Structure 1
Amino acid sequence: MDAPTQRVDVPLCVDLDGTLVKSDTLHDALMVMLRHSPGSILKAFGWLRQGKAAFKRNVSSVVMLDAAHLPYNHVLLQYLREEKARGRKIYLATAAEKALADRVAGHLGIFDGVLASDGRINLAGKNKLAAFQEMFPEGFCYIGNALPDARLLAACEAPMVANPHGRLKVAMKRSGTVPVRVFEDKKPALKAFLKAIRIHQWAKNVLIYLPLLLAHQIRWNTVVGATVAFLSFSFCASATYIINDLLDLEVDRRHPRKRLRPFAAADLSVGAGFAIIACFLAVSVLLAVALPYLFHAVPNYTWLQQPHKFLLWLAIYAAMTLSYSFRLKRMMLVDVIVLSMLYTVRIVVGSVSTGITVTTWLGAFSIFFFLSLAFAKRFAELENLRAREKDNAAGRGYRVSDLEQLRTFGAASGYAAVVVLALYLNSLTAQNLYPHITRLWLLIPIIILWVSRLWMVASRGDLDEDPVVYALEDRRSLILGGMMLIVVLSAISPL
Structure 2
Amino acid sequence: MADKTPLVLDVDGTFLRTDMLVESFWAGMGKHPIATIAASLRHLGDRPRLKAELARIGQPRTDLMPVHAEIAELAQIARNEGREVVFASASDRELVERLAVDHGLEGKVFGSENGTNLKGTAKAEALVAAYGEGGFDYAGNEPVDRAIWERADTAIVVGDESSAKAMAAAGKPVQSFDGTWRWRDLARALRPHQWVKNILLLLPMLAAHDFTWATLGMVVLGMICFSAAASSIYVANDLLDLEADRLHATKRFRPFASGAVPLLVGMGAGAAAGLVALLGSALLGPQMLFITALYMLLSLAYSLRLKRLRWVDIAILAALYTLRVVAGATVTGLGVSAFLIGFIFPAFAALGAVKRLTEVTRARNDERLPGRGYARADRSKLLNLALIGVMGAVLSFLAYGFSPQAIALYPSRLFLWAAAVPMMLWLIRMVRLGYEGRQDYDPILFAMRDKRGIGLLLMCLAAMFFASGMWESVF
TM-score (norm 2): 0.92
Correspondence for 1:295: none
Match of 1:336 among 306, 310, 314: 314
Which residue of 433, 437, 442 maps to 2:409? Answer: 433
Counterpart position of 1:299: none
Per the alignment, residue 3 of structure 1 pairs with none
Q: Is the 8 A contact 1:125 1:151 kept in 2?
A: yes
Q: Could you tell me which residue of structure 2 aligns to residue 280 of structure 1? A: 273
Q: Residues 475 and 168 from structure 1, CA distance in 2 versus in 1: closer, same or farther, beyond 3 angstroms?
A: farther
Query: Offset at 1:480?
Result: 2.8
1:443 counterpart residue number: 419
Q: Which residue of 1 aligns with 2:224?
A: 231
Corresponding residue number in structure 2 for 1:407: 383
Aligned mates of 2:262, 2:75 — CA distance in 1: 24
Q: Say if 1:177 and 1:288 are closer, same or farther in 2 by CA, change over 3 A.
A: farther
Residue number in structure 2 paired with 1:199: 192
Q: Which amino acid aligns with 1:334?
A: V
Query: Aligned partners of 1:432, 1:189: CA distance in 2, in Å?
Result: 54
Partner Cα distance (2:44, 2:436) in 1: 52
Amino acid at match of 1:343: Y
Offset, 1:478: 2.8
Match for residue 381 of structure 1 among 355, 359, 363? 359
Partner SS for 2:135: coil
Alignment of 1:463 onto 2:439: yes
- Secondary structure of the structure 1 residue equivalent to 2:286: helix
Return 205-214 or 126-135, whichever deviates more. 126-135
**Taking structure 1 as reference, are residues 226 and 8 closer, same or farther at Cα in structure 2, changes over 3 Å only?**
same
Separation in structure 1 between the aligned mates of residue 190 and residue 81 of structure 2, nearest angstrom: 44
- Rounded Cα–Cα distance in structure 1 between residues aligned with 2:143 and 2:55: 24
Structure-2 residue corresponding to 1:453: 429
CA distance in 2, matches of 1:469, 1:285: 26
8 Å CA contact retained: 1:97, 1:119: no
For 2:290, the equivalent position in structure 1 comes to 312
Distance 1:390 1:66, change over 3 A: farther
CA–CA distance in 2 between the matches of 1:63 and 1:494?
61
What corresponds to 2:145 in structure 1? 149
Equivalents in 2 of 1:129, 1:392: separation in Å?
Answer: 46
- Distance, in Å, in 2 between the alignment partners of 1:132 and 1:210 is 64
How has the CA–CA distance of structure 1 residues 278 and 170 changed in structure 2, closer, same or farther, with 3 Å as cutoff? farther
Query: Which consecutive residues of structure 2, in runs of 5 or more, have no partner in the other structure?
Result: none
Structure 1 residue 39, shift from structure 2 partner: 2.5
Aligned-pair Cα RMSD in Å: 2.2
Secondary structure in 2 matching 1:278:
helix
Distance 1:240 1:176, change over 3 A: farther
Q: After superposition, what is the alpha-carbon deviation per residue over 1:123-177, rounded to whole angstroms, capped at 9, x for unaligned?
A: 2111111122222226211111112212222332332223x24664575577565
Tell me by how many angstroms 1:81 deviates: 1.6
Once the two structures are TM-superposed, the CA of residue 467 in structure 1 deviates from its matched residue by 0.8
Q: Compute the displacement of 1:341 (Å).
A: 0.8
The amino acid of 2:109's aligned partner reads V
Residues 329-367 of structure 1, C-alpha deviations (whole Å, 9 max, x = no match)? 122111111110111111111111111111111110001
The equivalent of 1:139 in structure 2 is 135
Partner SS, residue 142 of structure 1: strand
* SS at 2:110 equivalent: strand
Q: Partner of 2:258: helix, strand, or coil? A: coil
TM-aligned CA deviation for residue 8 of structure 1: 2.9
Task: Letter of the 1:129 partner, please give it.
Answer: A
Structure-2 separation of matches of 1:425 and 1:43: 56
CA distance in 1, matches of 2:168, 2:430: 57
CA contact (8 A) 2:66 2:257 kept: yes
AA aligned opposite 1:206 = I
**In 1, distance between residues paired with 2:432 and 2:200?**
25
8 Å contact 2:157–2:163 — kept in the other structure? no
Corresponding residue for residue 373 of structure 2: 397
Q: In the alignment, does 2:70 pair up with 1:92?
A: no
Residue 218 in 1 paired to residue 211 in 2?
Answer: yes
Q: Distance in 1 between matches of 2:342 and 2:332?
A: 20
Residue type of the partner of 1:64?
Q
The answer for the alignment partner of 1:256 in structure 2 is 249
What code does the residue aligned with 2:356 have?
A: R
Residue 79 of structure 1 aligns with which residue?
Answer: 74
Describe the SS at the equivalent of 1:48: coil
For 2:318 and 2:85, how far apart are their aligned partners in 1? Answer: 53
Aligned counterpart, 2:328: 350
Counterparts of 2:402 and 2:172, CA distance in 1: 78
Give me the identity figure in percent: 29
Q: Quick one: which of 33, 38, 41 aligns to 1:45? A: 41
* Amino acid in structure 1 at the alignment position of 2:438: D
Q: 2:345 aligns with which of 339, 352, 367?
A: 367
Deviation digits for residues 177-207 of structure 1 (CA, Å, limit 9, x no counterpart): 56324154x6x52221111111111111111
Change (3 A) 1:171 1:440: farther
* CA spacing shift, 1:99–1:477, aligned 2, 3 Å: same
Taking structure 1 as the reference length, the TM-score comes to: 0.89
